[in-house]
């Protein structure tokens, strides 16, 4: 059986590096724990944990090259030279990752300093996904068919005059499929393909990587400062670090309703737009447009980045509604990187606990706009709902 390994330390989503940069600045002593959540109830074959362990242990050899460092310096000037020096010396520590298997059930946890462990989530999921298909000898469609399907999709998006991003690293079928898809999008997408969130693939395409921050940024701030001010403190700290760069705000860590209550005129003007990642996209667009109008801001000057389980049909519906009302782009993940004739995996790795300096471990929660996407213990979820006065 062939092994699976990563090809670059930059084979990761861009927002992991932007958040790592901010964490080093603001929370260098914070510790965190993450856990693998098997939403799809996938059954893992015998000895899968051993295969994953081998792949994880091999990540210790990944290093930032001089060429990769120059790419980041040239394309991401808001990343401090000191951070790029840090990343050049960074080394994955496989002891931060615990992997266990009980019959067909896989358990993966991560623990350590946040500034270090933040890079594990995406490549771990990519490895789990690729190993899952490989370990069962599941046969995908051939490369020519992958190219044909991807070309057809991007040509459809072009005909709709839409801007598309590729967000598929975490649940990709394999590195080779994502690379092929990304190359095809770049070859045939022209100005309609803005790029990829995968920094390694962005470098291969000579495009700027795409992304800002993720739910864990807001989840940590809730544990540090409290649920009521989590959104405001997250946005304030983000703007303090990036001074207006990386200006797409994620809205649904504690429901979009609560987010917009704290997305005041300062933030609404400073951030270029918002990202929708759960719930009804049309209802979200309505809320967003109404929010900007309430702030005295022309919605057509702002953008929504839609990123929740998108496919062509869903994008068409969203685009028909938003056109002429607000700018839009679409971050498409699994439908690009794992549309190969096999069922796509449904899994996440989420922040579960945090430990601020001189504090004890504390559970964290995420209250998505979709009830079945909530994460955290029942007790902490109930507490968050009570404090925020929400009922979903």
158 and 117: one domain? no
The C-alpha atoms of residue 344 and residue 340 are separated, in whole angstroms, by 9
Tell whether 57 and 41 lie within a shared domain: yes
Q: At what angle do helices 175-189 and 143-159 cross, to 10 degrees?
A: 40
Q: Looking at the structure, tell me whether residues 133 and 200 fall in a common domain.
A: no
Q: Are 260 and 286 in contact (CB under 8 A)?
A: no
22 φ, ψ (degrees, to nearest 5)? -70, -40
Q: Which residues contact 153 (CB under 8 A, 6 or more apart)?
A: 312, 335, 336
Residues 316 and 181 in one domain: yes
- Residue 227 in any domain: the answer is yes
Domain final residue, candidates 317, 337, 357: 337
- Do 274 and 222 sit in the same domain of this protein? yes
Let me know: does 307 contact 276? Beta carbons within 8 Å: yes
Task: Yes or no: say if 22 and 240 are a contact pair by the CB < 8 Å rule.
Answer: no
For the domain that residue 19 is a member of, what is the CATH number?
3.20.140.10
User: Do the Cβ atoms of 254 and 367 come closer than 8 Å?
Assistant: yes
- Evaluate whether 217 touches 26 at the Cβ level (below 8 Å): no
Question: In this structure, are residues 284 and 368 in contact, taking their beta carbons and an 8 Å threshold?
Answer: no
- 261 and 168 in a common domain: yes
Q: How far apart are CA 370 and CA 287, in angstroms?
A: 16
Do 21 and 117 reside in the same domain of the chain?
A: yes
The tens place of each residue's pLDDT in the chain, 392 residues long, gives: 457 889 999 999 999 999 999 999 999 999 999 999 999 999 999 999 999 999 999 999 999 999 999 999 999 999 999 999 999 999 999 999 999 999 999 999 999 999 999 999 999 999 999 999 999 999 999 999 999 999 999 999 999 999 999 999 999 999 999 999 999 999 999 999 999 999 999 999 999 999 999 999 999 999 999 999 999 999 999 999 999 999 999 999 999 999 999 999 999 999 999 999 999 999 999 999 999 999 999 999 999 999 999 999 999 999 999 999 999 999 999 999 999 999 999 999 999 999 998 889 999 999 989 877 788 888 889 999 999 998 76
Among 128, 181, 134, smallest CA distance to 332 is for: 181
Instruction: Answer whether residue 1 is part of any domain.
Output: no
How long is the chain? 392
Tell me what pLDDT residue 2 has: 59
- Looking at the domain assignment, is residue 253 inside a domain? yes
Residue 307's nearest CA partner among 358, 220, 222, 368 is: 368
Q: 271 in a domain, yes or no?
A: yes
Identify each DSSP E strand in the chain by its residue range: 31-37, 97-102, 105-113, 164-166, 193-196, 248-250, 273-276, 303-306, 327-332, 348-355, 362-363
Cα distance between residue 4 and residue 191, in whole Å: 33
Assess whether 119 and 172 both reside in one domain: no
Q: Are residues 174 and 63 both part of a single domain? A: no
Note if the pTM is more than 0.75. Answer: yes
Domain endpoint, select from 301, 320, 337: 337
Report the number of distinct structural domains present in the chain: 2
User: Does any domain span residue 5?
Assistant: no
Q: Which two tokens stand for residue 124?
A: 């771990």
Same domain, 331 and 357: no
367 in the same domain as 333: no
Note whether residue 378 is domain-resident.
Answer: yes
The rounded distance, in Å, linking the Cα atoms of 157 and 161 is 6
Q: Is 306 helix (H, G, I), strand (E, B) or coil?
A: strand
Is residue 363 in some structural domain? yes
Q: Are residues 244 and 307 in the same domain?
A: yes
Asked if 25 and 113 count as a contact pair (C-beta separation under 8 A), the reply is no
Q: Residue 109: which domain range?
A: 14-138+346-384
| Residue 7 within a domain | no
CA distance 125 to 208: 23
């Amino acid at each position: 059986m062939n092994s699976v390994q990563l090809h670059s330390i930059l084979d990761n989503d861009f927002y992991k590096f932007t958040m790592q940069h901010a964490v080093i600045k603001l929370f260098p002593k914070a510790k965190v724990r993450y856990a693998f959540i098997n939403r799809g109830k996938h059954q893992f074959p015998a000895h899968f944990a051993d295969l994953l362990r081998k792949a994880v242990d091999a990540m210790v050899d990944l290093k930032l090259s001089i060429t990769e460092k120059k790419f980041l310096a040239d394309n991401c000037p808001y990343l401090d030279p000191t951070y790029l020096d840090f990343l050049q010396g960074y080394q994955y520590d496989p002891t931060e990752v615990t992997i266990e298997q009980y019959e067909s059930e896989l358990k993966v946890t991560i623990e350590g300093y946040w500034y270090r462990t933040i890079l594990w989530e995406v490549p771990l999921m990519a490895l789990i996904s690729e190993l899952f298909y490989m370990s069962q000898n599941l046969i995908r469609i051939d490369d020519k068919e992958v190219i044909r399907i991807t070309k057809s999709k991007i040509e459809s998006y072009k005909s709709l005059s839409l801007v598309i991003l590729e967000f598929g690293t975490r649940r990709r079928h394999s590195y080779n499929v994502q690379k092929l898809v990304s190359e095809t999008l770049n070859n045939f997408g022209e100005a309609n393909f803005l790029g990829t969130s995968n920094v390694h693939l962005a470098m291969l395409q000579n495009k700027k990587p795409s992304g800002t921050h993720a739910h864990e940024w807001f989840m940590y701030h809730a544990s540090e400062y409290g649920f009521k001010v989590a959104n405001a403190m997250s946005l304030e700290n983000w703007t303090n670090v990036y001074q207006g760069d990386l200006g797409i705000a994620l809205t649904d860590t504690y429901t979009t309703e609560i987010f917009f209550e704290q997305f005041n005129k300062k933030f609404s003007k400073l951030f270029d737009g918002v990202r929708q990642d759960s719930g009804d996209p049309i209802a979200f667009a309505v809320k967003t447009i109404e929010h900007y109008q309430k702030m005295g801001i022309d919605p057509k000057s702002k953008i929504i980045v839609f990123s929740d389980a998108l496919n062509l049909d869903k994008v068409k519906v969203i685009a028909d509604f938003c056109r002429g009302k607000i700018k839009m782009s679409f971050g498409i993940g699994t439908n690009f990187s794992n549309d190969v004739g096999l069922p796509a995996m449904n899994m996440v790795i989420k922040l579960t606990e945090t430990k601020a300096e001189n504090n004890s471990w504390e559970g964290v929660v995420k209250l998505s706009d979709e009830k079945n996407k909530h994460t955290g213990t029942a007790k902490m979820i109930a507490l968050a709902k009570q404090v925020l006065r929400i009922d979903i």
